[in-house]
Amino acid sequence: MSEATPEIKKGLVGVYADVSTISKVMPETNSLTYRGYAVQDLCENCSFEEVAYLLWNGELPNRGQLAEFKAAEAAEREISPALHRVIKDFPASAHPMDAIRTAVSFMGMEDPESADVSEAATRRKAIRLLAKIPTAIAAAHRAAKGLPPVAPDPSHSFGENFFNLVFGKVPQPEVLKAFDVSLILYAEHTFNASTYTARLVTSTGADIHGAITAGIAALKGPLHGGANEAVMHMLTEIGGPEQAEEWLSTRFDHKALVMGFGHRVYKSGDSRVPTMTKYAEKMAEVVGDRRWMETSRVLAAKMLKEKNIHPNLDFPAGPAYYLMGFDIPLFTPIFVAARITGWAAHVIEQAADNRLIRPLSHYTGPEQRPVPPMDQR
């Protein structure tokens, strides 16, 4: 006798899986707060380091707390000679997301507190991850190009350090500000797929390096963080605003996805897009190349008019990073460098009030049957 099919929430659409005090997405007003502060307000008034502190501690830091936090992060930026050696041996063709996923897993094996899942140890490990992830991303990127790594400079801010590690120099203030804004916007977004992955791993009692390794694997997918790279591949394939309408019509004819559009939660606009677009426009001005923003404008207008689908954060972030000079395969690793803050906040929250995450599946395979002898199969 077949059982009645229970209600299945495919993709867990609309399911509340837990409570959280970290951030709030309000799709009805296209808004987002971190610990109660509007993300736009944080972008205009805070540095990425202040936002990282906020996510991990629940309140913005005062001057002394910020100085202490920045010093703790700056002191942990070096990666070990063993990790440098491993990175040098990565295949040059490896995707940087696979490189940083492997590097974080390696950092877990080296971490002196690897097996300690107490909150105090997890917080110390989170700082080490925040500090070392840019060093590993940049070392792998440069090794794949046959370049030596650049040593982290503890006198640099988080953003300055990232540019210096990748390019060996720090850009002008407008570029640094746009980069910092992108990190703040990418830092946290409730129970998205990668954060939920990190919480699920944490729910088994596993350590933060395991949770973040899994989070990075989930973020790489083109339906999630990988979309910021896909957006730029799409824009370069289109070539310019003149070709954008026709290119999009062909996508519609093939019922193909258009990268950087749509969102599971926001259906009438992603809270972060106006701010990121403003800073991507500034990058276009700084570089003196409006082609990508013009192409984006044509695509967004036609998507809205014909499909009623809005862009998500990856849509303006892609061209912003391109205009800052980053190679396309570095875009999702930059997302990792930012989202480690949100992931770690969720790891800490999950562990503090944990219950193993284990949903049910409704079986629709063959009825129970005996194993036939080999000569009857």
Ligand X SMILES: CC(=O)SCCNC(=O)CCNC(=O)[C@H](O)C(C)(C)COP(=O)(O)OP(=O)(O)OC[C@H]1O[C@@H](n2cnc3c(N)ncnc32)[C@H](O)[C@@H]1OP(=O)(O)O
Ligand Y SMILES: O=C([O-])CC(=O)C(=O)O
What is the CB neighbour count within 10 angstroms for residue 148?
11
Which residue in 183, 137, 139, 141 sits closest to 159, CA to CA? Answer: 183
Listed ranges 44-52, 203-211, 260-268, 352-360: which one lies at the site for ligand X (CB under 6 A): 260-268
- Which residue, 86 or 259, is less far from ligand X as judged by CB? 259
Contacts of 300 (CB under 8 A, 6+ apart): 310, 311, 315
Q: How far is the CB of 314 from ligand X (least distance, A)?
A: 5
3-state DSSP percent of the chain in helix, strand and coil, to 5: 60, 5, 35
Q: Which of 263, 270, 310, 346 is catalytic?
A: 263
Report residue 207 as tokens.
């350590």
Contact 140, 96 (CB under 8 A): yes
127's contact among ligand Y, ligand X, none, with CB below 5 to 8 A by partner kind, is: none
Nearest distance in Å: CB 223, ligand Y? 9
Per CB under 6 A, the list member of 104, 178, 313, 336 interacting with ligand X is 313
86 binds, among ligand X, ligand Y, none (CB under 5 to 8 A by kind): none
**DSSP codes of every residue in 101-118:** HHHHHHHHHH-TTTT--S
Task: Note if 314 is an active site residue.
Answer: yes
- Smallest separation (angstroms) from ligand X to the CB of 332: 10
- Residue 283 binds ligand X (CB under 6 A): no
Residue 182 CB contacts under 8 Å (≥ 6 apart), including other chains:
276, 279, 317, 320, 321, 334, 338
- 316 touches ligand X (CB under 6 A): no
Residues 9-48 vs ligand X: string with x where CB under 6 A?
Answer: --x-------------------------------------
Concerning whether 362 is annotated as a catalytic residue, the answer is: no
The contact pattern for ligand X, residues 200-239, with x = CB under 6 A and - = no contact, is -----------------------xxx-x------------
Opening angle at CA 43, ends 39 and 48, nearest 5:
105
- Where b means 16+ CB within 10 Å and e means fewer, 203-219 reads beebbbbbbbbbbbebb
> Which lies closer to ligand Y via its Cβ, residue 76 or residue 180?
180
Beta-sheet pairing, 31-34 with 37-38: antiparallel
- Residues numbered 278 to 317 that lie near ligand Y (CB under 6 A) are 312-313
Residues that are catalytic = 263, 314
Residues that bind ligand X (CB under 6 A): 11, 223-225, 227, 257-264, 309, 312-314
